[in-house]
Amino acid sequence: MTLRNNGLYIDRLSMNFGGVVVFEDISIEAPSSKVTACIGPNGAGKTTIINIVCGVFPPRTGKVYIDGVQLSGVRPFNTVRYGLCRSFQDVRIFPSLTAIENVLVAMPNQGGESLSGLFLPGGWRQERANRERARHLLQAVALESAAERAAGELPFGQQKLLSLVRAIATGARVLLLDEPAAGLESDLIPHVVDLIRSLVKAEGRATFLVEHNIELVRQVADQICVLQAGRIIASGDVQRVLDDQTVIREYLGQVYNV
């Protein structure tokens, strides 16, 4: 766990809102090609970590590094430029765009998105290539048949999958997924697993996800950390952490009826 030059590295982050300490001095590593999960009770601050990394607000202390470079000046609208992309718990897809358009609009560096690009042939070629890739991505979550349907008409679960695919389409090297399984029917969860395994890990991206669904974490994560009462109470290998007595007592006991 000492690879600091690739992926996401969170270094001694502390945060509080007013007098309430959210977390104190936490460090997390999410290396490339690996999935790092963060679990913990609601309100422990898991989404806050993502918000801080994406520049929604600054931490009280601590630093964030992407591929060894310290992040500064990142704001929610320029995260992709730093190689980061996040998904939201509430989906935020574009309802009037079709499913495939939702994916297409996420792809970077499109010549066709400017007025001059309308007239250059290169733009159209790029659009065709992008469409191919978008279809491929939709296939990975069994949404290809819904490609031309308005995203707003899709059921929540499919919208959630769409939002994950969209985040991936940005090409970001580091993905921050905020409860990707929340609200999904259990038959859709394997799609999330497939998506993360095939598209993300295979392409060498670093994934940091916060989750409540332990099953998903078990299937997909390479390493895990448990955030509780403002501190990381355990981290490391997935099975070892999940078997840890402290973790079971403090957190899993609430989630599982084990």
Partner 1 sequence: MEHLLYIGTLIAVWTIVALAANLVIGYTGMMSMGQAAYLGVGAYVTATLNILLGVNFYLALLIGSIIAAVVGAITLLPLLRIGGFYFALATLGINFVFFDIFHNLAPRVEGSEGLYGLQLPDLLASSAPRFATTVAVAIACAMLCQAVVTSPLGRALRATRDRPDALAALGKDPRRYQVLIWTFAAGLTGLAGGLYAATLFYIDPTLFTLDASILVLVYIGVGGLASTTGSVLGVILLIAFNESLRFLGLPSQFVGPFQQAIYGLLLILLMIFRRRGLVGKYDFTE
Please give the residue ranges that form the binding site for partner 1 (CB under 8 A).
Answer: 54, 76-81, 85-86, 88, 92-97, 101, 104-106, 108, 110-115, 117-118, 123, 127, 166-167, 170, 172
Nearer to partner 1, 58 or 152 (CB): 152
* DSSP label at residue 150: B
Q: Closer CB to partner 1, residue 110 or residue 219? A: 110
Task: Tell me how far, at minimum, the Cβ of 185 lies from partner 1, in Å.
Answer: 23
Q: What token pair was written down for 83?
A: 């190689």
Task: Residue 106: name the closest of 136, 134, 71, 138 by CA.
Answer: 134
Beta carbon nearer to partner 1, 8 or 26: 8
Question: Judged by CB, which is closer to partner 1: 148, or 187?
Answer: 148
Based on CB atoms, which residue is closest to partner 1, 120 or 229?
A: 120
User: What are the E-state strand segments in the chain?
Assistant: 8-17, 20-30, 35-39, 61-66, 69-70, 84-87, 174-178, 206-210, 223-228, 231-237
Question: Are residues 188 and 140 in contact, defined by beta-carbon separation less than 8 angstroms?
Answer: no
Closest approach of partner 1 to the CB of residue 241, in Å: 30
Closest approach, Cβ 183 to partner 1, in A, equals: 17
> Could you tell me the smallest distance in angstroms from the CB atom of residue 57 to partner 1?
15
Centre a 10 Å sphere on the Cβ of residue 213 and count the other Cβ atoms it contains: 20
Residues paired with residue 227 on neighbouring β-strands, in sequence order? 232
Q: Least distance in Å: CB of 155 to partner 1?
A: 18
Eight-state DSSP code of residue 83: T
